[in-house]
Structure 1
């Protein structure tokens, strides 16, 4: 049966998945402005950090007019609207941290946010698709796509660390573009038994995953762990599996009952889902259900791509059938080992930005030390052991890492060092 990813010649192609040749899953050239009707949204969205700091954001949103979304016609307009409304929502909900929580989002924000989300097939909460993939502009349009020449469209409290966090994540997405482009070559190579084509594509994917790992290292340079943990992180938190908001959030004018949505998570990026499906990495039920739920937070076309990759002939079986082909075996093992190294490094990053600051915050609280000037103490206690997406973060990441290791075919390769 031909999938939606099959072109007129019967080959698997990325053409119908909203994947850019140059930018992969990143939205090319996001808009910076909406039609004039929506200026009240942008007037608030572009000032979120200062309005949260002065405790005025909720009051400003409460006075905001309820605007019709019918003048948003183009996809990019909807993406900017989703970004602006979701950032406002996070600021509104978490303005006072864990104190003075709100139970409902006012209709002036909730109704348009719900309508825009429905049209995009995204949930009404901040997602990776908005905060990262659609939240960038170049300072010099002709200049390079790098940290120095990039700026966020909409930001959250946390200063330069917010910029560093979202843009480093964006550059990881950019580094993955050659790998995403090579996926059809692997699938079509398997279909027609062309081992050389599969080897070449796997080598390209391996190099690209290594580049992703290098891009992730920008976090160390551009994000202060105490600012990330103590200030930023709560604004990425959702209202599902969150002890701060056990009932969820009422979207006034949409539903009378509270709704639950997960906060931001690296698992909302389509990249690793694509690699797992391609390379045959299998996840246990608990981890798999969380990862599958995170696909609901991706643009529908990207979700469909992951699904369609999973229904293609198995690469792992293809490699096993060609055991005598050393080149093919080595290319596959090298690719899995690069994915394993990336997951190990991600554990390292999470340790530096969450586990260590959480331990410091606990220590300060337990000893009632004078924590003046200690940013980590401001962090919500409820998130000490959890990811903002609601997962028990370290256990989850180590399980996923070990499952990646299980995809390796040969025992000696399993001795790849784990830096965790």
Structure 2
């Protein structure tokens, strides 16, 4: 497939512009620019997905692409695979040795392009996960070699992302057309059945369908973003006509969310739960969600004095979807769904714009040290708020802008006294709650049930092995709690 080379991007396109520090220059000040696509990298056709992700880095970084190609073509196996053969183990070690022998490539020329940086993060984080999860389980400490550590941490610092596989790496920037359009920038959104993945761990249809379910949700959600913008425009007018239009838009938004629910449910058609749990999911676990207690040690970090030890290494999670966060923030549901529900008393948390003040800069934390513990510490930052640090920085700026809206829809509904508007709002919130009902079912089917089977096969009790999500949480309790608190956002007549 052909791909966009950075030199071929039109001069007036967002990605050809200098990379601004959206909303971060003034400490504590949210970005209050317009909701134009070029401000937040939200495409009118593909939403939070790029119109066409880069599929290959230029020749200067070909050795990274080659290493990833070899990992895939070698069909590397998980180190804890029950029937791992000596031949599989030897093949994995030969590949890891080639990775250790790679040169430490400069990232200086990557910094001129957001597109190149995203592809580099994709390639290097996939290489790291292939490396980490193919290491023999007898190895007590996971040492990531300098040829991966140095450029991955440098690229991650530029993108303000953690140096680990994220939702952006396995969904947002991991797709391509089956039948490519005739132009570099197609005029219409891609058809949901015209997608395939660029990179896979297992080369199975199950893995591809798992990622594509999320990709299809992102693309179908473009209409939701359009409706949000229309409602925000009407809210600034605030007259009787505007309220009637917002009422109609909310019903339409509910219909879009119902379609997202159907797409989510359809993951069952292409991805087998046992295959997912045992063969796919272990590959993209981060340090926080790995079952073992082994440290992840980033070797070579001392070669660049600007680098810091990573503290965010949770791995990809559906909680990193900017689209779902945008729905929460726009409807005012985030005050409920993003609360730290795992404590005894759920407490509504600050809105999304407060996240930068609470969270460390992604991928950095304190002075560099030789080693660090990858075990997640206790934190008062709610999981969904923390997951925003795994999103592309422009999308975080979008959420901050959305949450700083001076006329929030929920407040407008509460103060309008319009019964039809309140009912329409509740219809939209209820649709989001049903979406999360489906997510609860998916987590039960794909994580809870297979983990129970695994415990019983190993003769372990329930307490021996919690069913963790890839973000490091107790997966079922997490999605169930978010679902329950979404329902708590419904408004009662007269509120």
> Do Structure 1 and Structure 2 share a fold, with TM-score over 0.5?
yes
* Contact 2:141–2:295 under 8 Å retained in 1: no
Task: Report the counterpart of residue 353 of structure 2 in structure 1.
Answer: none
Larger mean CA deviation between 336-345 and 66-75 belongs to 66-75
Query: Over aligned residues, Cα RMSD in angstroms?
Result: 2.6
CA-to-aligned-CA distance 1:336-389 (integer Å, 9 cap, x gap): 01100000000101111111111111121129xxxxxxxxxxxxx987421110
* 1:5-404 map, 5 Å: 5-7=32-34, 13-49=36-72, 50-53=74-77, 54-55=91-92, 56-72=94-110, 73-96=112-135, 98-100=137-139, 102-142=141-181, 145-146=190-191, 148-157=193-202, 159-193=204-238, 194-240=242-288, 242-245=290-293, 247-253=295-301, 259-281=311-333, 282-283=335-336, 284-285=339-340, 289-312=382-405, 313-323=407-417, 325-366=418-459, 384-404=466-486
Unaligned 5+ runs, structure 1: 368-380, 412-420
Using the alignment, how far apart are the partners of 1:66 and 1:341 within structure 2? 48
Using the alignment, how far apart are the partners of 1:208 and 1:383 within structure 2? 37
Larger mean CA deviation between 49-58 and 126-135 belongs to 49-58
Using the alignment, how far apart are the partners of 2:176 and 2:485 within structure 1? 37
In the TM superposition, what is the alpha-carbon distance from 1:103 to its structure 2 partner? 2.4
* Contact 2:30–2:400 under 8 Å retained in 1: no
Change (3 A) 1:71 1:328: same
Using the alignment, how far apart are the partners of 2:146 and 2:191 within structure 1? 38
After TM superposition, the score normalised by the length of structure 1 is: 0.86
Using the alignment, how far apart are the partners of 1:232 and 1:85 within structure 2? 19
Secondary structure in 2 matching 1:228: helix
CA-to-aligned-CA distance 1:266-304 (integer Å, 9 cap, x gap): 111112211111112223335662111110000111111
Using the alignment, how far apart are the partners of 2:467 and 2:128 within structure 1? 24
Using the alignment, how far apart are the partners of 1:101 and 1:246 within structure 2? 6
Larger mean CA deviation between 63-72 and 400-409 belongs to 63-72
After TM superposition, the score normalised by the length of structure 2 is: 0.74
Q: How many residue pairs align between the two structures?
A: 393
* Contact 2:455–2:465 under 8 Å retained in 1: no
In the TM superposition, what is the alpha-carbon distance from 1:405 to its structure 2 partner? 0.4
CA-to-aligned-CA distance 1:233-281 (integer Å, 9 cap, x gap): 1112111264524544324325686745111111111122111111122
Which consecutive segments of 4 or more residues in structure 1 shift more than 4 A? 12-15, 254-260, 381-384
Unaligned 5+ runs, structure 2: 1-28, 78-90, 183-188, 343-380
* Contact 1:83–1:154 under 8 Å retained in 2: no
